[in-house]
Chains A and B, each alone.
Chain A
Amino acid sequence: MSKKGVVLLNIEKSFGGNKVLKNLSLEVKSGEFLVLLGPSGCGKTTTLRCIAGLEKVDKGKIFIGDRDVTELPPSKRNISMVFQNYAVFPHMKVYNNIAFGLKMRKFPRQEIDKKIKEVSKLLKIDNLLDRFPSQLSGGQKQRVAVARALAVDPDVLLMDEPLSNLDALLRAEMRTELKKLHRDLGTTTVYVTHDQIEALSLGDRIAVMFDGEIVQISNPKEIYEFPSTIKVGEFIGIPSMNFLKARYENGEIFIGNQKFELSDKIRNEIERKKLKEFIIGIRAENIEIYANKCRGSLCSKILLKEELGYTQLLTLKIEDFTIKAFSKAEIGLGIDNYVYIKFREDKIRFFDCNTRKLIF
């Protein structure tokens, strides 16, 4: 398998007067599985199509390996792509679908045959080669699309929300399979999705995009634990990260009228950075819930209780803020009762009120 990295340098792209990509730069390392994650309309698909050459960039350069491909048509870039709606040619049998790229590259017949047997076995569709796409299920079509993309031995494999049309069960199954496939083949992959679970589970790294810009690019763990902005924290994780406004007065931290006790280490950090007002971010699983008041706890009211089977999701009101927390043990208290909560100190993140960016 050939492996090549991709570099995007200061890419700009507009449709009409609408600037879709704003000075976007990105490096995909060779052999890496990079996920472009963002809400719909953020420009992630456009980015992918620019790499493919289906869209021409207004400004900037694109490199695949050390080749400048900015001006090359898609056919000269040695990339392949899996489309959202599969785009498996309806008038060709599975065999010819997979063979299409190889035929265009003028491979000899025996080699095409060999290659098709190889990839179809890999994707477990070797028994479907003689069928037309209309005789296949969605999942099978998806496999054909992936097989077709892999058959040409691309330098870069591009995937545009490939699992979004599958039902939940199949999606989880295909996700695992794609992960395994990438581990075995090591093809450089750029994967577009708006589904954060897909992104977190598949990506070696995730690039989070909002409004045509990459706001954070890092490994999944880092993105989940240290979102670079409040928006990233809200977008990633189910439920979203909780955010509460806090202030530092006379050496103490307050959330609303409640005193919030934290260790000296954090207090010193706040002191050193001269923070007055800031936003605290904490994830639902890092909140501990107690029925009785204890040292350092905050008082909050239960607004809603959702049973999830393995845990309960509580919606709590603390001062003016609504937060969500998982309760590990069954709490005997119902709606409108008061509980006491503590935040795991090493998981608390501090954000700037104005820039809404991570401070520490």
Chain B
Amino acid sequence: MKIFKKFAQIITFTIISLWVLLPVFLITVSTFSSKQEVYKWPKNLLPKDFSLESIKFFFSSYGTISSFKNSLIVAFITLILVLFISIPSAYAFSRYYFKGRESLKIFILMTRMLPIPLLAVPLTSFYITLSLYDNLLGVALIHTAMALPFSIIILSGIFIRISKEYEEAAIVFGASKLKAFLKILLPLSLPGIAAMLIFTFITSWNEVFAASILTVENRTLSAHILNLLDASPLYFKYAGGFFLSVPAIIFIFFIRNYLMKMWGGF
């Protein structure tokens, strides 16, 4: 019975892993294959003739480099905004008791209940009146709004786990509240903050819908690829998919320990 259970476990995990990893693997293989290879069937498990042709084509096609740059700029602005908003609010949630704290927490999460497609039309007209339409700052703002709820909740979870005694000790030994925060709480929560920022980066990097409806010229990479999807050859799609998914996978690989600690280690 025990062996059967173990066996079932292995099968389940294998299926789940394959389901997640196989597409990524195929995308990667196809990206590094030659153009002709991409159309062949059956697929090879390893690129037969390793080539950077697809990647070269992808980057030389019109708009790719600039959208790549746009994606980086949007992600960077989003990171800065999230950093400066989520740290103080997470601090307040974790260190102070105030009226309506719990409802406010839920309210913050509720902002994620509304799907972006539902908001598309009002958001676009609103952005046009604010002249944020087709503007990278505008995209960064909507990405910030999308990433903030989770960032705040994650970060206040991290702050709560760090004993208040440390800050109190710092204060007793002559530090101001701000200094206690900067010298004690901030360095102690640095791994968590880093993980939160990477989560934010991926949110922004991969977000496609809002970026697509809010931009025309200044496309981010994801919006750019989506826009060209119907009109582009297969190897372009593969290279695009590769550059969209790989940063996320690399980041998650590096921060998975922190993520485990944050969500599993309470």
CB distance from B188 to the nearest CB of A (A): 6
Check A90–B172 contact: CB distance below 8 A: no
List B contacts of A85 (CB < 8 A): 163, 165
Check A80–B188 contact: CB distance below 8 A: no
Check A74–B171 contact: CB distance below 8 A: yes
- Whether A74 touches B172, Cβ cut-off 8 Å, given contacts A85-B163, A87-B163, A87-B165, is yes
Interface string of B161-182 (1 = CB under 8 A from A): 0010110111111111001000
Interface string of A81-93 (1 = CB under 8 A from B): 1011101011100
CB distance from B160 to the nearest CB of A (A): 16
A169 at the interface (CB under 8 A from B): no
B247 at the interface (CB under 8 A from A): no
Contact residues on B (Cβ < 8 Å of other chain), bracket? 10 to 19
Check B173–A80 contact: CB distance below 8 A: yes
A296 at the interface (CB under 8 A from B): no
Interface string of A71-84 (1 = CB under 8 A from B): 00111000111011
CB distance from A143 to the nearest CB of B (A): 15
B window 57-76: CB within 8 A of A: none
Q: What is the bound-complex CA distance between A93 and B21, given in angstroms?
A: 43
Of A20-28, A98-106, A200-208, the one with at least 4 CB within 8 A of chain B: A98-106
Closest to A76 in B: B174
Name the residue in B166, B173, B174, B179 with the highest tally of chain A Cβ atoms < 10 Å from its Cβ. Answer: B173
Contact residues on A (Cβ < 8 Å of other chain), bracket? 20 to 34
B184 at the interface (CB under 8 A from A): yes
Q: What is the bound-complex CA distance between A242 and B111, given in angstroms?
A: 64
A148 at the interface (CB under 8 A from B): yes
Closest to A100 in B: B173
A54 at the interface (CB under 8 A from B): yes
* Number of inter-chain CB pairs below 8 Å: 55
CB distance from A103 to the nearest CB of B (A): 8
List B contacts of A302 (CB < 8 A): none
Specify which of A81, A91, A105 is in contact with B172 (CB 8 Å cutoff). Answer: A81
List A contacts of B174 (CB < 8 A): 75, 101, 104-105, 152
A52 at the interface (CB under 8 A from B): yes
CB distance from B229 to the nearest CB of A (A): 47
CB distance from A183 to the nearest CB of B (A): 24
List A contacts of B165 (CB < 8 A): 83-85, 87
Name the residue in A74, A80, A101, A105 with the highest tally of chain B Cβ atoms < 10 Å from its Cβ. Answer: A74
Interface string of A295-314 (1 = CB under 8 A from B): 00000000000000000000
Interface string of A197-215 (1 = CB under 8 A from B): 0000000000000000000
B88 at the interface (CB under 8 A from A): no
Check A87–B171 contact: CB distance below 8 A: no
List A contacts of B233 (CB < 8 A): none
List B contacts of A79 (CB < 8 A): 172
B187 at the interface (CB under 8 A from A): yes
List A contacts of B188 (CB < 8 A): 89-91
CB distance from B101 to the nearest CB of A (A): 15
Name the residue in B166, B176, B188 with the highest tally of chain A Cβ atoms < 10 Å from its Cβ. Answer: B166
List A contacts of B171 (CB < 8 A): 54, 73-75
Closest to A105 in B: B174
CB distance from B263 to the nearest CB of A (A): 21
Specify which of A53, A54, A73, A148 is in contact with B173 (CB 8 Å cutoff). Answer: A148
Q: What is the bound-complex CA distance between A101 and B179, given in angstroms?
A: 12
Check A75–B166 contact: CB distance below 8 A: no
Q: What is the bound-complex CA distance between A204 and B15, given in angstroms?
A: 70
Check B169–A87 contact: CB distance below 8 A: yes
Q: What is the bound-complex CA distance between A81 and B173, given in angstroms?
A: 8
CB distance from A95 to the nearest CB of B (A): 15
Specify which of A75, A87, A90, A101 is in contact with B176 (CB 8 Å cutoff). Answer: A75
Q: What is the bound-complex CA distance between A84 and B172, given in angstroms?
A: 14
Query: 15 A-B Cβ contacts within 8 A?
Result: A52-B172, A54-B171, A54-B172, A75-B171, A75-B173, A80-B173, A83-B165, A83-B168, A83-B169, A89-B169, A100-B173, A101-B174, A104-B173, A104-B175, A152-B173
Q: Which 4 A-B pairs have the closest CB atoms?
A: A104-B174, A101-B173, A87-B169, A87-B165
Identify the B interface with A (CB < 8 A).
163, 165-166, 168-176, 179, 184, 187-188
